Amino acid sequence: MQSFLAFVMRTRLGAIGIVALGALLPLLFWLSGGVLALVTLRRGLAEGAIVLAGAVAVLTPIYAVLLGAPTAVLQPLALVWLPVLALAQILRSTVSLASTLQWGTLLAAAGVLAFYGLHGDPAAFWEGTLQAIAEALTGGQPGPEWNQAAAQLAPRLTGLWVTNLLAVAFLCLLLGRWWQAVLYNPGGFRSEFHGLRFARWFAGLGVAAVLAGMFGPPGLAADVGVVIGAVFLLQALAVAHALVAARNWHVGWLIGFYLILPLLLRPVALLGLADTFVDFRARFAPAA
């Protein structure tokens, strides 16, 4: 890994090539965002922007040939690369992972508001989008079961979509931060992640948002609640990793935790939220 990372950081062209290559291979898009985060964290916003501009310049004619749509590059640019670039610069400036994730979450919540302002009725937009997808897949009109499922899902899709984009941006940022530690500060990411804990004001906002999402109808408040509540999954993961390390538990505990995590997303997020007020790491870590 260190050889690969050293290659990326050795030349600007190498970084541009990896960012562009990662974008062309869907299963490696995380690689593209991680490299962009690494470059920005280490060398600053200007260098990250140059690498990003170079990757866009490389990809535009490729998309024109492969897809017949050179503007297709605008989608990953707007939805992944620019958010990762911004988050990496915030982290570089604040040197605080918690503050960076908080700012990123608030910006994502603002994105939900902007989506509502742009589309007026997001549920109608998503129903139309799902209808178009169904027609493209089936070659005809979907059945009543599909229409019913789309009508139930559409009012919640804005929050889920924005949360998914935020998760991708956060994962790319964390990957870049880990790589930065591998090259320049061994062990630094481990201690930084284990200590991740959001501010109480942010947790209070999370409580209000989660309650609005749980007990209110689908809509703006529920979508914002999904976005803000989801970030506390990261705090719960930090707690799990920190306790396993502090108590010298077998790594199998973490493996089991990750295996059941998809079934318990909401309860785990609530545990992460509670940690801001309870501090499970201090309560359950072994005495020094």
Whether residue 213 is found in the same domain as residue 253: yes
The tokens of 139 are what? 């070659």
Looking from the CA of 186 toward its CB, the CA atoms found within 13 Å total 1
Q: Which residues contact 62 (CB under 8 A, 6 or more apart)?
A: 20, 24
Whether residue 161 is found in the same domain as residue 171: yes
Contact 36, 17 (CB under 8 A): no
Contact 182, 1 (CB under 8 A): yes
Give CA–CA dist 252/16, Å, rounded.
Answer: 38
Whether residue 112 is found in the same domain as residue 240: yes
CA distance readout (Å), 35 to 8, 47, 83, 131, 141: 8, 12, 14, 36, 43
Count of structural domains, the chain: 2
> What is the residue-level pLDDT of the chain in tens, covering all 288 positions?
788 888 899 989 999 999 999 888 878 889 999 999 999 999 999 999 999 999 999 999 998 888 788 888 888 899 999 999 999 999 999 999 999 999 999 999 999 999 999 988 898 899 888 888 877 776 666 677 777 777 888 888 999 999 999 999 999 999 999 999 999 999 999 999 999 999 999 999 989 887 877 777 888 888 999 999 999 999 999 999 999 998 899 999 999 999 999 999 989 999 999 999 999 988 877 755
Contact 153, 122 (CB under 8 A): no
Q: What was the pLDDT predicted at 150?
A: 79
Q: What was the pLDDT predicted at 196?
A: 96
- Cβ neighbours, 10 Å, residue 66: 11
Last residue of a domain, one of 67, 95, 123: 95
Whether residue 216 is found in the same domain as residue 173: yes
Last residue of a domain, one of 95, 126, 149: 95
- Tell me the whole-structure pTM to 2 decimals: 0.93
Name the residue range of residue 33's domain. Answer: 1-95
The tokens of 7 are what? 């290659």
The tokens of 73 are what? 């590059």
